[in-house]
Amino acid sequence: MAAPSSTAGFLAAARWFVDVRDWQPGSCEWDAALHLLPPHEQHKVQRFVFAKDQRLALGSRVLQRKLIQELFRQVPMAQIDIQRTPEGKPYWRRDISKNDEVDSNCMDVPVSWNYNVSHHGTVVVIVAHPHALVGVDIMQVSERPNAKTTSIGGFFRAFESYFNANEWDCIRCSSDANEQYERFYRLWSLKEAYIKAVGIGLGFSLLRAEFFFDERDAQWHLRLDGEIARAWRFDSTFVDATHIVSVAYGPLDAMWKPETSSIFPASLNVAKAGTQPNHNDEGTSAAAWVKRDLADLIAHTP
């Protein structure tokens, strides 16, 4: 496929997910998939003990590179340079000023294009946007503590300091335990999506970020340090029967420590990018979730 032009903002936004339960590779297929990655990433995947965790790790790495490959350029996946900030946020390292075989193809990539990835249970999700800072978090809402040793009340008490009174009221407003767990995981994923968008890593007090659902516009909103964060957009939805995904879109200058932890090329000055996310690409932040088949992605990788 030909690379889209930089004006095709809708094409540069994406929401994909894969379910690793659908992929049960034999040894030859596994080895072939593993060798799509650079050697250091292969070692990271192989460090996991359990097969499901290895598939999640490989699925995450394949999904990141395949998204970039399909949206922008046809190059071997192992040549796509995925790095991490000091806080652990993955990003595509590209230098649009270079004129070599790989980076010359980055000229059609919006300089502020970025993505985020998450996995839990058996599902890996990835979200990308051409102009807004993005973060994503997925939770398997069917996950439960050991009922023999931990009650729902005991489970919630372990997380008491992570939610404020209004959020706990939201979680506990139903008498149904399954609904309480669902609300808990949804609020948790919203907080994580925000933190991952900013890229702040450890040290952020989750109590600073209060999420609430406004019935008037049927949207989730963030109250940060007591003030509504109007520059941010959030949504939270199920991608299947048991996995809920929350996505955060925010202004570029909300990025944590751009001087040391930037996920963008050096040509982008986030301080001059403004305090509002770019709304010029209508519909990009509401792109539909697309389920991709991991085996098919691997089999059709050049």
CATH number, position 261: 3.90.470.20
Averaged pLDDT for residues 15-29: 96
Determine what percent of the chain is predicted with pLDDT higher than 90: 73
Averaged pLDDT for residues 72-99: 82
1 within domain boundaries: no
pLDDT for position 6: 37
Bridge partner list, 185: none
pLDDT score of 9 more than 50: no
pTM of the model: 0.90
pLDDT score of 213 more than 90: yes
Residue given tokens 């097969």 in the structure block: 51
Of residues 119 and 279, more confidence is placed in 119
Residue 63 near residue 124, CB atoms below 8 Å: yes
Q: Are strands 233-238 and 114-120 parallel, antiparallel or unpaired?
A: unpaired
pLDDT for position 214: 96
Domain that holds residue 108: 9-299
pLDDT for position 287: 76
pLDDT score of 50 more than 60: yes
Averaged pLDDT for residues 122-141: 97
pLDDT score of 294 more than 50: yes
Query: What gap in Å lies between CA 118 and CA 131, rounded to an integer?
Result: 20
Number of domains in the chain: 1
Provide the 8-state DSSP code for 276.
Answer: S
Q: Which segments of 89-132 are extended strands (E)?
A: 90-92, 114-120, 123-129
Averaged pLDDT for residues 143-166: 93
Query: What gap in Å lies between CA 124 and CA 170, rounded to an integer?
Result: 27
